[in-house]
Amino acid sequence: MSINFESKLPNTATTIFTVMSALANEHQAVNLSQGFPDYPADAVLKDLVCQFIKEDYNQYAPMAGVPALLSQISKKIEHSYGWAPDPAKEITIATGASQAICSAISMMIGPGDEAVIIEPAYDSYAPAVIMNGGKTRVFEMLAPDFKVDWQAIRKLINNKTKLLIINNPHNPTGSILDENDLDEVENIVHETGVYLLSDEVYEHLVFDGREHQSILARPGLKERGMAVFSFGKSLHATGWKIGYFIANPFLSAEFRKIHQFTVFSVNTPAQHAIAAYLEGNIDWSKLSGFFQKKRDLLQAGLEQSRFIPLNSAGTYFQLYDYSGISDLPDQEFAKWLTRAFGVATIPLSPFYTSDLDQKLVRICFAKKEETIQRAVERLLMV
């Protein structure tokens, strides 16, 4: 019997994150590949979710999110960026940032539409464009500084371009956009009429005294800008998959049309727990110091190694150049490093459409100090 079936993602295989984590497990390696902490979330937060489960907050949440959490997010955004989004009309709770990104792209992109993506890029952007019938146009950032040429971005935009996607702070490079970059983004949006999707899940992880530049701090981007955030990154609870989407009432209403027919609503007790936790007036600025200490520990530990760091300005990732060690392609090198020395990393090339190989691997430093030190001991032998 013949089957009439055409894949929407014919060139998509298992993600490199799954591949490397499986290899790490197979070889009992120190897993610095996938981006999740190996230390516990705050006990207060864990107690709160247990409390709300016991109090039977276990049924469907409202489609847009639990009102208490929406209200706390509005206050958080106002404190951080000087603008309080309307909790009822401009904020939607999502099943992690990935679902928010996919739903936002789905509402924007249809057959024949184009989206401009800056690579290396998180691996969910392009597939979401493609499975909605769209096409990507790509600008490649290059080592060592991973700067965006905004004039080149302008040249990629045409009358089919619907969406520009940015990621700041940037995964996987650890680079950040500064105020001048955001000026360029704002000018491009005004000049071309393109919509803007800003992935800001690492908003609080910016180092060395720098400040995060959010599109939400730019009134001129409110009409065509959308931003996505994640509590998984900021509360050390990636497995809870709680993210949120912020945009003006029109764009939020369109987003919710997609959202309601994909997940509809998000984990109820976790939403209540986070809302109650946020009432404790969290000092988000402490996160930068918390993660910078881990970055610095990793850098100091590998100072005498043959790995060359590309200094991370944000996120909880840092790239390392291994060209002085091996001429293997980065995917083969990462697998060899896992098998031979018991440390799992992520090669950079899968973040590029072209599989550009710059002899770089990404290391996640959102780990316990002893985990980082154990990995360093092994990497010093390479």
Reported as a single tens digit per residue, the pLDDT across 179-194 is: 999 999 999 999 999 9
Please calculate the CA angle 250-253-259 and round it to the nearest 5 degrees: 145
**pLDDT digit string, tens, across residues 108-149:** 999 999 999 999 999 999 999 999 999 999 999 999 999 999
Does residue 282 have a pLDDT over 90? no
308-310 vs 346-347, strand pairing mode: unpaired
Helix (H, G, I), strand (E, B) or coil at 166: strand
Which residues contact residue 7 at a Cβ distance below 8 angstroms, ignoring those fewer than 6 apart?
none
pLDDT of residue 25: 94
For range 298-324, the mean pLDDT: 97
* Secondary structure element (H or E) that encloses residue 164, with its range: strand 161-167
For the cut 90, the answer to whether the pLDDT of residue 343 exceeds it is yes
Question: Can you give the pLDDT at residue 1?
Answer: 55
Cα–Cα distance for residue pair 204/224, rounded to 1 Å = 24
Residue 281 reports pLDDT greater than 80: no
Sequence length of the chain is: 382
Short-list 115, 120, 117, CA closest to 132: 115
pLDDT-above-90 percentage for the chain: 93
With beta carbons less than 8 A apart as the criterion, state whether 195 and 113 touch.
no
Residue 76 neighbours by CB distance under 10 Å = 17
pTM here is 0.96
Torsion over CA: 201, 80, 246, 264 (sign): positive
Least confident of 2-11, 71-80, 336-345, 348-357: 2-11
Is residue 13 very low, low, confident or very high in pLDDT (cuts 50, 70, 90)?
A: confident
Is residue 239 over pLDDT 80? yes
200-230: string of b/e by CB count within 10 Å (b at 16+)? Answer: bbbbbbbbeeeebbbbbbbeebeebbbbbbb
Q: What's the CA gap between 31 and 364, in Å, rounded? A: 9
Q: Compute the distance between CA of residue 343 and CA of residue 357 in angstroms, rounded to an integer.
A: 20
Q: How confident is the model at residue 11 (pLDDT cuts 50, 70, 90)?
A: confident
- The yes-or-no verdict on residue 291 having pLDDT over 70 is yes
Identify which has the larger pLDDT, 39 or 34. Answer: 39
pLDDT of residue 263: 95
**What ranges do the domains of the chain cover?**
16-35+285-379, 43-278
Phi and psi (nearest 5°) for 104? -65, -45
Asked if residue 163 has pLDDT above 90, the reply is yes
What mean pLDDT comes out for the span 64-74? 98
For range 314-337, the mean pLDDT: 98
Rounded CA gap, 282 and 79, in Å?
Answer: 11
Helix, strand or coil for residue 197? strand
Rounded to 10 degrees, the C-alpha dihedral 220/225/226/232 comes to -60
The helix (run of H) or strand (run of E) holding residue 122 is none
Task: Calculate the average pLDDT of the chain.
Answer: 96
Task: Give the list of residues 6+ apart from residue 106 with CB closer than 8 angstroms, or none.
Answer: 128, 132, 258
CATH code for the domain defined by 16-35+285-379? 3.90.1150.10
pLDDT for 46:
97
pLDDT value at residue 14: 78
pLDDT at residue 280 in the model:
84
User: Who has greater pLDDT, 4 or 161?
Assistant: 161
The pLDDT value given to residue 2? 65
Indicate whether 378 pLDDT > 60.
Answer: yes
Residue 164 in this model has a pLDDT that exceeds 70 = yes
Residues in CB range of 203: below 8 A, 6 or more apart: 80, 169, 212, 214, 229, 234
Q: Is the domain covering 43-278 a CATH 3.40.640.10 domain?
A: yes
pLDDT tens per residue across span 259-271: 999 999 999 999 9
Say how far apart CA 155 and CA 153 lie, in whole Å: 5
